[in-house]
Structure 1
Amino acid sequence: MNNENLNKLITESLAIEAEAAKEAGKLGFMARALVQATLPHSKIEGNEFERTNGAFTLAMLAPSSVGLPYGNIPRLLISWLTTEAVKTRNREIILGETLSQFMDELDMAPTGGRWGSITRLRDQMTRLFSCFVSCTYTGHDMTGMRNIMIADEANLWWSPKQPDQAALWQSSVTLSERFFWEVVENPVPVDIRALKALRRSPMALDIYCWLTYRLSYLNKPTNIPWPALQAQFGANYATDAKGVRNFKLKFLQALKKVQVVYPEARIEDGGPTLILKPSPTHIPKLYNPVDN
C-alpha cells in the first residue's frame, strides 16, 4: 500500500470514527450468505465456483455464455441492493433515473469505452443477475440446502452513451423472493463508508464484512487455521503449503487495510492460525436492523 492510498484510508477512517454510521446516514447491510463464503476475487475460467466455511458451502453456477461475477463491483452491488431491500421492504428495487446517479451510489465515475466503468458495471450486473446460487449446510448427519437466484428480473434501460440522461422507464431489479427474505431477515450491518474506502480490494471488502459479522457475537478468543480461511476467502490458491503461504500473505496485506477503517478489531497472526479476540462491533448493536 503506497503512502497516498494509506493517507486516504486514514482520512476516511477518521471520518468514520467521528460519526456513527446510522447518525451519518451511512448504515448499510450485506447478505449474510455472501459474508460466510465469498464471490470470486478475479475472473476465473469456467462457469462453476465453490467456497466453504466450516459446515457452510456456497456454490455458484452461471450460464457459460455469461460467466461468473467477480471483483469489487458485485460486492458493492449486493450491499447496495441488500441495504435498499432492508430499508424499503420491497422486492422491486429502483436503481435511479440515470446511470450516472446509480453509479454515484456505488462511488463509481462513469467512463465509456471497452474497458470503461460503464461497460464493467453492465457486465458484472449481467453476470450477477444470471447466476444461480446454492447454499448448503452439513453437520450432525444432517444436510440443509437452499437454491436461489439473486434476481427474478432486471430492467436496465439506461443508455451507456448518455449516462446523465433519464430513460423513458425507470431501471429496476426485482429480487427473487427467497433472496429477498434471506437478506431482510438476516442482514449483516456494515458502514457504507468503510465499503467505499476499501472498494479497490475485493478481499479487503470480504474481510471487513466478515469481521463485522464475526466479531459481533464472538465472546472468547478463537483460532482459525489458515487452510480453513483459504477455503472461505481464497479457493483459487493452491492447497499445498506454498499455496497456503501465498494466501496468508495476501490476506494479511488486505487485513492491514481493514484495520485502518476498523481499528477496534483485535486480530493477531498466530502462526498456523489467525486469532480473533472479542472486540467492539464496528456497527453498535443498537443499530441492528431489528431495532430500526
Structure 2
Amino acid sequence: MTKKREGQGAQQIGEIMGDLVAQAQAKAALPPPKRQTKKITPAGLILTGADQKLIEASAEIATTPPAGEDMAFTHAVLCQVGLPRAKVEGREFMRQSGAAWVNVQAGYLDEGKGPVLQPIPYGVMPRLGLAWVSTFAVRNKEREIPIGDSAAEFLRLMGMESDGRRYTTLRKQMHALAAARLQLGFKGRTYNGQPVQQFDAWVSNKDTQQRALWPGVMVLSEDYYGSLIESAVPLDNRALHALKGSALALDVYAWLAHRLHRIEGRGVTLHWKALREQFAQEYRGKDPDKDFKKEFLPALKKVLAVYPQARVKPVTGGVLLIGSPPPIPYKGGPTV
C-alpha cells in the first residue's frame, strides 16, 4: 500500500466518524474502568462495544488491503433487493427495485416429527448465513457446504458470539432459510427454486439435554449455485462482521459494493422515495420517506466507515452516488 493511499484512508475515517476515532484513541491511554459494559471517552462520549469494533474495522480496512479470508461473496440480485429485515406476517414477501426483484415464500421443513411450516427468513442471521455459504461455494467451486460440527462453530465462522439467544435465532432463521422458496428476477431472467437443496434440521435432544448439532453439510441447489457463480459480488468479510448488528447496514453495504463502480460521470442522485421503495417498502404513515431517512442515514454512516473508497454524499432530497472502486477488486472485470 502506498503512503498516499494510507493518508487518504485516514482522512476518510476522520470525515466519516468525526471525532469518534480521536476519542477512542484518547480512551486507550486511560486505565480501563472496572466492570463497565460501555466505553466512555474523556469528552463524555459513550462508545458501545459495537461502536468500538466499527472504529477498529474502519481503521484496518482503510489501511490494510483485503487478503485471504477477508474476501466474501453474495448473489448480485440480493445486493439490489434483500430479504425482509423484520418479521413478516403471512407466507410471502415481495420486494422490487428497478429491474431487479425478489419473492420469498415460506416452506415446510421436517424437524423430526413431520412437516413444520417455517416463517419467512428475516433479519441479520439469514443474510450472514447466505453470505457465508455463498462465499464457500464461490471460493471452492462446491455446492456442498460444510457447516461445522455445531451451531457454536457456525456462529464463530460468521463472527458472532455464541449464547442461548444466538442459538435460538440461528436455529429458527436457518430452518426458515432452508425451507424457503426464492425467486430472483433481473432484466428478463428469472431464477425459480430453493437456494438449499438438502438440509438436515437442527433437532434438539431434550431427553439428554445435549446441545443440538448442525448437519455436516448443506447442499445448494444446482440452479442457485450456477446463478451465484455467474453473478457473485465480492465483499469485504471484515465489513460484514463490523455491520452484523444491522440488517439495513448489511443491505446498504452490499448494494453500494455492487452499484458504485458502475457509475460514470458526475454521479447519480437517488431521492428518498426511490431509496425507500428499494430498501423499505414496508414503511407507511403520513411521511414514510422522512421516517425512512431517519433510519437510513445512521446505517449509511456505518457503511461508509467500513467502505472508505465509497463516494456517497447526503444531498437535499436524497443521496448522491459517485463512481467509486469496489471494496474488493474484481478479477477479470466485474460481473453484470
- TM-score normalised per structure 2: 0.76
Encode CA deviations 1:121-172: one digit per residue, 9 max, x unaligned. 010001111111122346xxxx442212111111256868555x9x6x9521
Match of 1:174, SS state, is: strand
Residue 94 of structure 1 pairs with residue 94 of structure 2: no
Structure 1 residues 31 and 2: CA distance shift in structure 2, 3 A: farther
Residue 17 of structure 1 pairs with residue 62 of structure 2: yes
Contact 1:156 1:171 in 2 (8 A): no
Structure 2: tracts of 5 or more residues without a match:
1-44, 109-116
- Counterpart of 2:269 in structure 1 is 223
Find the aligned partners of 1:145 and 1:182 in 2 and give their Cα distance. 10
Find the aligned partners of 1:269 and 1:206 in 2 and give their Cα distance. 18
2:71 corresponds, among 24, 27, 30, to 27
RMSD, matched Cα: 2.4
% identical aligned pairs: 34
Structure 1 residues 180 and 286: CA distance shift in structure 2, 3 A: closer
More off after superposition, 274-283 vs 12-21: 12-21
Find the aligned partners of 2:186 and 2:243 in 1 and give their Cα distance. 30
Match of 1:152, SS state, is: strand
Match of 1:155, SS state, is: coil
Match of 1:211, SS state, is: helix
1:38 alignment partner AA = G
Structure 1 residues 60 and 255: CA distance shift in structure 2, 3 A: same
Structure 1: tracts of 5 or more residues without a match:
none
Q: What is the aligned residue count?
A: 278
Contact 1:187 1:289 in 2 (8 A): no
Residue 37 of structure 1 pairs with residue 86 of structure 2: no
Would you identify which runs of 4 or more consecutive aligned residues in structure 1 move more than 4 Å? 156-163, 286-290
Where do 1:100-111 residues align within 5 Å? 100-111=152-163
Match of 2:261, SS state, is: coil
Find the aligned partners of 1:33 and 1:228 in 2 and give their Cα distance. 17
Contact 1:190 1:209 in 2 (8 A): yes
- Counterpart of 2:16 in structure 1 is none
* Structure 1 position 56, deviation (Å): 1.6
2:309 alignment partner AA = E
Residue 265 of structure 1 pairs with residue 333 of structure 2: no
- Counterpart of 1:278 in structure 2 is 323
Match of 1:268, SS state, is: strand
Structure 1 residues 17 and 103: CA distance shift in structure 2, 3 A: same
Residue 8 of structure 1 pairs with residue 60 of structure 2: no
Encode CA deviations 1:96-142: one digit per residue, 9 max, x unaligned. 12332222001222223xxx11111010001111111122346xxxx
- Counterpart of 2:280 in structure 1 is 234
Match of 1:285, SS state, is: coil
Structure 1 residues 30 and 2: CA distance shift in structure 2, 3 A: farther
Where do 1:1-292 residues align within 5 Å? 3-4=47-48, 5-21=50-66, 23-63=67-107, 65-112=117-164, 116-137=165-186, 143-156=188-201, 162-163=210-211, 171-220=216-265, 221-238=267-284, 242-286=287-331
Structure 1 residues 162 and 271: CA distance shift in structure 2, 3 A: farther
1:208 alignment partner AA = Y
1:232 alignment partner AA = Q
Contact 1:33 1:135 in 2 (8 A): yes
1:259 alignment partner AA = L
Encode CA deviations 1:67-108: one digit per residue, 9 max, x unaligned. 100110000001001101001211111111233222200122
Find the aligned partners of 1:2 and 1:136 in 2 and give their Cα distance. 44
* Structure 1 position 288, deviation (Å): 6.9
Find the aligned partners of 2:210 and 2:291 in 1 and give their Cα distance. 43
Structure 1 residues 213 and 289: CA distance shift in structure 2, 3 A: closer
Find the aligned partners of 1:287 and 1:6 in 2 and give their Cα distance. 36
